[in-house]
Amino acid sequence: MSENPPLLKPTLCSQYGLPDWYLKYFRLLVIEVFFLIALGGAVRVMNAGLACPDWPLCFGQIIPDYHPQVYLEFIHRVLAGVVTIVALTLNWYLWKSRAPKWLKWTGIVSLVLLVTQAVLGGLTVLWQLHAKVVAAHLGLAAIFFSIILWMYLSLKAKEETSVRVSPWLVKWSWFTGFALFGQIILGGLVASHYAATVCTDFPTCNGAWFPTFRGVIGLHIIHRLGAYAIFAIALVNLILMVKKSDSVRLRKLGIAGFAMILTQVGIGIANVLLHTPPLIAVLHLAMATAILSITVRQIHFANAHVA
């Protein structure tokens, strides 16, 4: 005699009157944005940012002639278009549903950010890869990714648990998230100023323990110092989530976050010693985005279970 199948947790999607497929496609949107960010890094490291010299067309064509760099940039634009269509469709369904107003307006904010991101993408081309525009493009992508991930987590199954998180742990989670976002922006500035290779060794910089803080070398050093700070924050976060939280979920997130930070440090060092090979440079950005996703999950869970 077979056992009764476990009951599925009801999702908020069903309670809000959203279709059964809605959550699956929202998850797909989150994954698409993750790959879009990584692909944007590939466009930069392969020097394909200006492979299409005009915008929104490419050499005046909707579908340009094939060339590896051109198509790398073209596919990036196509995926951005797909993300826009999916995001518009999902938010249209969300607006018509019985979802709370805060969630609907969060969706509207995400669409405004998406439109702004498209404009920044165009300016990146038209302004010939202006460093601050490139960094802003990355920063806005990180914010958009965080918002849609937060929305997805808010639409998932209810947590049937008695876990309560101390308010100060919630504040610490937010601090960790903002610190990580700041480091991502620093990384974007390093990349857009082509400062990743100005220091050819590690832990010193061109043989100096205390190099200048001016110019691109200074930008590189500040990013390194930021990495040290993030490592320390991640270590404290791990200790707090394991020792001061009774939540298994927070413990797992703390462990995962620290393990990914350790990996990211190794990737960053490899970037310097190997003179920023494209594959490792893209992996560095992808790992940063993955760490951001873990941090957003931690913040969301802690915020939802605050005592």
Q: Give the pLDDT confidence of 229-252 residue by residue, as tens digits.
A: 999 999 999 999 988 888 888 999
Q: Output the 3-class SS for the chain.
A: CCCCCCCCCCEHHHHCCCCCCHHHHHHHHHHHHHHHHHHHHHHHHCCCCCCCCCCCCECCECCCCCCHHHHHHHHHHHHHHHHHHHHHHHHHHHHHCCCCHHHHHHHHHHHHHHHHHHHHHHHHHHCCCCHHHHHHHHHHHHHHHHHHHHHHHHHCECCCCCCCECHHHHHHHHHHHHHHHHHHHHHHHHHHCCCCCCCCCCCCECCECCCCCCHHHHHHHHHHHHHHHHHHHHHHHHHHHHHCCCCHHHHHHHHHHHHHHHHHHHHHHHHHHCCCCHHHHHHHHHHHHHHHHHHHHHHHHHHHCEC
Counted residue by residue, the chain has a size of: 307
- 43/55 Cα distance (integer angstroms): 15
Per-residue pLDDT band for 132 (boundaries 50, 70, 90) equals confident
- Tokens of residue 235, six digits: 């270590």
What pLDDT does residue 150 have?
96
Q: What is the pLDDT of residues 157-213, one digit of tens each?
A: 665 566 788 899 999 999 999 999 999 999 999 988 889 889 999 999 999 998 989
CB 256 within 8 A of CB 218: no
Of 60-69, 145-154, 257-266, the least confident: 60-69
What pLDDT does residue 7 have?
42
Residue with tokens 């998406």: 114
Q: Output the 3-class SS for 28-39.
A: HHHHHHHHHHHH
What pLDDT does residue 161 have?
62
CB 40 within 8 A of CB 138: yes
What pLDDT does residue 53 have?
85
Q: Shortest CA distance to 253 belongs to which of 139, 160, 165, 138?
A: 165
pTM above 0.85, yes or no: yes
Angle at 130 between CA 125 and CA 133, to 5 degrees: 85
- 221/219 Cα distance (integer angstroms): 5
Q: What is the pLDDT of residues 6-56, one digit of tens each?
A: 444 556 777 888 888 999 999 999 999 999 999 998 888 888 878 888 888
Q: Which residue has the higher pLDDT, 122 or 3?
A: 122
Task: Using the predicted structure, report yes or no on whether residue 77 has a pLDDT greater than 50.
Answer: yes
Distances (CA, A) of 91 to 15, 49, 83, 94, 297: 17, 30, 12, 5, 21
CB 125 within 8 A of CB 102: no
Q: What is the pLDDT of residues 284-305, one digit of tens each?
A: 999 999 999 999 999 999 998 8
- 242/239 Cα distance (integer angstroms): 5
